[in-house]
């Protein structure tokens, strides 16, 4: 059966764990004129990840999702060991949402020489998430570059939820001449506004009830900005007060940046994205919203 041409009628995804094999098979599909979409994930999939696959499937002939919990993007005190892993279920879900091939390598397969070679993306990795997670984006850039080598796709699909990551990947591909289009897909949310995240699985029921407040606080900033507020300290105060009333939420940062940048502004002056990172219970969550 040709799983590439019959993707709309079957729910089957072929799983690879060898880089050399998926690379040669991908190159072969490309040589036959197929457009290839790459969807990098760390597994424990939810509807947000699956929406990336669906968008890839709508624009590509072959969709390759990767499931790899990348150790180098976790800090020493972060949750690498306990990060949820559910490959069998993930493969079934991916197949139902337009994915043809799944690349699920081991750590040794992805890092054959250990952790010697890494990619420093410079200043885009320093503020916001980078301030709290100093090694995170070097890990992201390195693994995305490896995946781009092994799956030389035409387009790669990323979620808007990880705003800074989208800027890191765009810069990485531009600067290292990687001919893969970056497609950024909208954040998928629960009905209550909570951005879907694999880490939501860590939330207690009390914290699950609190967590939608992050999105609500961003919406509050959007509303105030629509009413004419351009003063960022005032917008940040309003968000802080809102979250303080909810309780149980420890803010890491609230930031306002011109959309497409990571450089914070103090006055709204054009298209602006608001970002929030906070611990809800012990779980660190991030979200963002284009407010102007």
Q: Catalytic site residues?
A: 49
- The number of residues that bind ligand AMP (CB under 6 A) is 17
For ligand AMP, give the closer residue by CB, 137 or 158: 158
Q: How far is the CB of 194 from ligand AMP (least distance, A)?
A: 9
Q: Which stretch binds ligand AMP (CB under 6 A): 21-29, 43-51, 141-149, 251-259?
A: 43-51
Beta bridge partner(s), residue 258: 272
Smallest CA-to-CA distance from 62 within 87, 26, 31 is with: 26
Distances (CA, A) of 141 to 54, 203, 267, 277: 24, 28, 31, 21
Helix (H, G, I), strand (E, B), or coil: what is residue 102?
Answer: strand
Could you say which of 128, 196, 213, 280 contacts ligand AMP (CB under 6 A)? 196
Asked if 185 is part of the footprint of ligand AMP (rule: CB under 6 A), the reply reads yes
Asked if 42 is part of the footprint of ligand AMP (rule: CB under 6 A), the reply reads yes
For ligand AMP, give the closer residue by CB, 49 or 97: 49
Asked if 49 is part of the footprint of ligand AMP (rule: CB under 6 A), the reply reads yes
Q: How far is the CB of 166 from ligand AMP (least distance, A)?
A: 7
Q: How far is the CB of 20 from ligand AMP (least distance, A)?
A: 24
Distances (CA, A) of 49 to 57, 105, 140, 208, 241: 13, 18, 17, 20, 32
For ligand AMP, give the closer residue by CB, 26 or 288: 288
Q: How far is the CB of 23 from ligand AMP (least distance, A)?
A: 21
Could you say which of 164, 198, 273, 288 contacts ligand AMP (CB under 6 A)? 198
Q: Which stretch binds ligand AMP (CB under 6 A): 5-13, 91-99, 185-193, 245-253?
A: 185-193
Q: Which stretch binds ligand AMP (CB under 6 A): 77-85, 124-132, 156-164, 244-252?
A: 156-164
Q: What is the DSSP string of 180-205?
A: -EEEEEPPPB-TTSPBP-GGGGG--H
Q: What is the 3-state secondary structure (H, E, C) of 26-62?
A: HHHHHHCCCCEEEEEECCCCCHHHHHHHHHHHHHCCE
Query: Residue 200: which residues within 8 A CB-CB, separation 6 or more?
Result: 46, 194, 208, 211, 283, 285
Which residues form the interface with ligand AMP (CB under 6 A)?
A: 41-42, 48-49, 51-52, 158-159, 161-162, 185, 187-188, 195-198
């Amino acid at each position: 059966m040709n799983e590439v041409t019959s993707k709309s009628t079957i729910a089957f995804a072929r799983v690879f764990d060898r880089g050399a094999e998926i690379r040669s098979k991908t190159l072969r599909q490309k040589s036959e004129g197929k457009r290839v979409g790459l969807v990098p994930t760390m597994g424990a999939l939810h509807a947000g990840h699956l929406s990336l696959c669906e968008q890839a499937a709508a624009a590509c002939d072959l969709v390759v999702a990767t499931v790899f919990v990348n150790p180098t993007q976790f800090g020493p005190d972060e949750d690498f060991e306990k990060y949820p892993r559910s490959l069998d279920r993930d493969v079934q879900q991916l197949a139902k949402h337009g994915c043809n091939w799944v690349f699920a390598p081991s750590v040794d397969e992805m890092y054959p020489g250990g952790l010697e070679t890494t990619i420093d993306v410079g200043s885009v990795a320093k503020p916001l998430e980078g301030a709290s997670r100093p090694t995170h984006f070097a890990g992201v850039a390195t693994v995305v570059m490896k995946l781009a080598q092994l799956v030389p796709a035409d387009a790669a699909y990323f979620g808007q939820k990880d705003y800074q990551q989208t800027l890191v990947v765009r810069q990485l591909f531009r600067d290292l001449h990687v001919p893969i289009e970056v497609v950024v897909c909208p954040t998928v949310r629960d009905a209550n506004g909570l951005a879907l995240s694999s880490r939501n699985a860590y939330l207690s029921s009390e914290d699950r009830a609190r967590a939608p407040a992050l999105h609500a606080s961003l919406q509050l900033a959007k509303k105030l900005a629509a009413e004419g507020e351009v003063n960022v300290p005032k917008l940040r105060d309003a968000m802080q007060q809102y979250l303080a009333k909810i309780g149980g939420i420890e803010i890491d940062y609230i930031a306002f940046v011109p959309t497409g940048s990571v450089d914070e502004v103090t006055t709204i002056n054009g298209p602006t994205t608001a970002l929030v990172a906070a611990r809800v219970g012990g779980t660190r969550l991030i979200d963002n919203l284009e407010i102007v």
